[in-house]
Amino acid sequence: MTHFQVAASQLANLYSKGFGGKENGRFRISSKQVRELLGKRRLYSDDIENLSRAVLEEGYVMIDMDSFFVLLSANAFVNYRRVSGEALTAEMTGKP
């Protein structure tokens, strides 16, 4: 297991734990805490990409918000509405 996989597993476990006044669910984590989690002094784009991929394999989505990261369940997006071909064409052509 890579250190990215270990960190992703720890983040996934945090999703089901109670803290911050909530029983479980989405959360934000600072860049500093992610650096600590990975044991790095600096985060590079490939670090974030590798961790994001490992988190996705755990069933979660990690979003980089510059100074912090957000972790959401990938299932949260399943019921989002889908864009139809007609709606996209209308938007691209400027027709209502």
Token representation of residue 95: 């027709």
Helices (H) and strands (E) in the chain, counts: 4, 3
Partner residues linked to 70 by β-bridges = 28, 63
Confidence band (pLDDT; 50, 70, 90) for 95? confident
**pLDDT tens profile 47-56:** 999 999 999 9
* Per-domain residue ranges of the chain: 3-77
CB 4 within 8 A of CB 44: no
Tell me what the mean pLDDT of segment 26-43 comes to.
97
φ, ψ at 28 (rounded to 5°): -115, 150
Other C-beta atoms within 10 Å of 57: how many?
Answer: 13
Question: Model's pTM, two decimal places?
Answer: 0.86
E strands, 10-93, are 27-30, 60-64, 68-73
To which CATH superfamily is domain 3-77 assigned? Stn1, C-terminal wHTH domain (3.30.1370.230)
